[in-house]
Amino acid sequence: MTQDLHYYLKTWRLSEPKLLADTLTSKIYAVTYNHNKVVLKLFKPLGEKDEKNGAIALRCFNGHGAVKLLEYDARAHLLEYADGDDLVALVKKGEDEKATSIIAELLKKLHSVYTATPPKELISLENWFVSLFRKAERDAVKGLHSIFVRAAGVAKWLLKSQNDVRILHGDIHHENIRFSAERGWLAIDPKGVVGERTYDAANTLCNPWNMESLVEDEERLLRNATILAEKLNLDPVRLLGFTFAHACLSACWSLEDGDDPTHALNIATIIEPHIAC
């Protein structure tokens, strides 16, 4: 990884590297590029595949509602630096509904900028839900009418009737939206998914993560769903349906990673009585 850092400092003419984070998928540095502070992400093996589609999505967004992709290859991305807080800070100040409105305005930008045929390399929403479908199939074979089986049925109905298909961020949540003093609120770390735009809003309703008492509040969830549906002109039924399906998908990912799925399942349980799919 040290050799990679030296390679990109030389190749992309960067200087003054400062380590910002060391995650499972990458090492992230603040560096200087053309006299500006930017971000260099060096991918570990786990991150190379995961981040490939993110670069394609950022190219499509082209700086509209998202950070700009300045340079990239299979092992690294050079990105615009959003120097301010993320939206979690706003929620912690008691401005949860304001944060939700900001997310809605950001999604308008992301979903409006690229209306051509999406690049074929991006992940379809059908493939994005594969972990849920596999879990549901295993439960069904055992004769279980589990929440995963029910969520898979909802997801299949929604996916068969998709409309307003766009390039999606795929992982819109409060930590993935940061403030730039120059350009306002910007999304970071897209996954690069193609599907109905409602899904990006649904993902939001399951967040912020690690704030269970807030997120697992039925009134709060329904109130924010209303804000998103009104500001984005979404069908509330489909929004809650996608939120239910996503919460169960998130639980499946937790199970696959050996993590506790309780939080995601609690969200799904709260939503299920309100869906009419």
d(CA 224, CA 173): 13
Q: Can you list the positions of beta strands (E) in the chain? A: 15-22, 26-33, 36-43, 69-73, 76-80, 123-124, 165-168, 177-180, 184-187, 193-196
Q: Which residue has the tokens 């996503």?
A: 246
Contacts 24+ apart (CB under 8 A), 43-51: 43/74, 43/75, 43/76, 43/77, 44/1, 47/23, 48/74, 48/75, 50/25, 50/191, 51/25, 51/26, 51/77
Is the bond preceding residue 17 a cis peptide, omega within 30 degrees? no
Name the catalytic one among 86, 96, 171, 189: 171
Residue 171: active-site member: yes
Laid out side by side, the sheet with 26-33 consists of 15-22, 26-33, 36-43, 76-80, 69-73
Nearest to 81 by CA among 203, 165, 178: 178
Tell me how far the alpha carbon of residue 29 is from its chain's centroid: 21
SS3 101: helix
Closest CA to 166 of 204, 198, 205: 198
What residues are labeled active site?
171
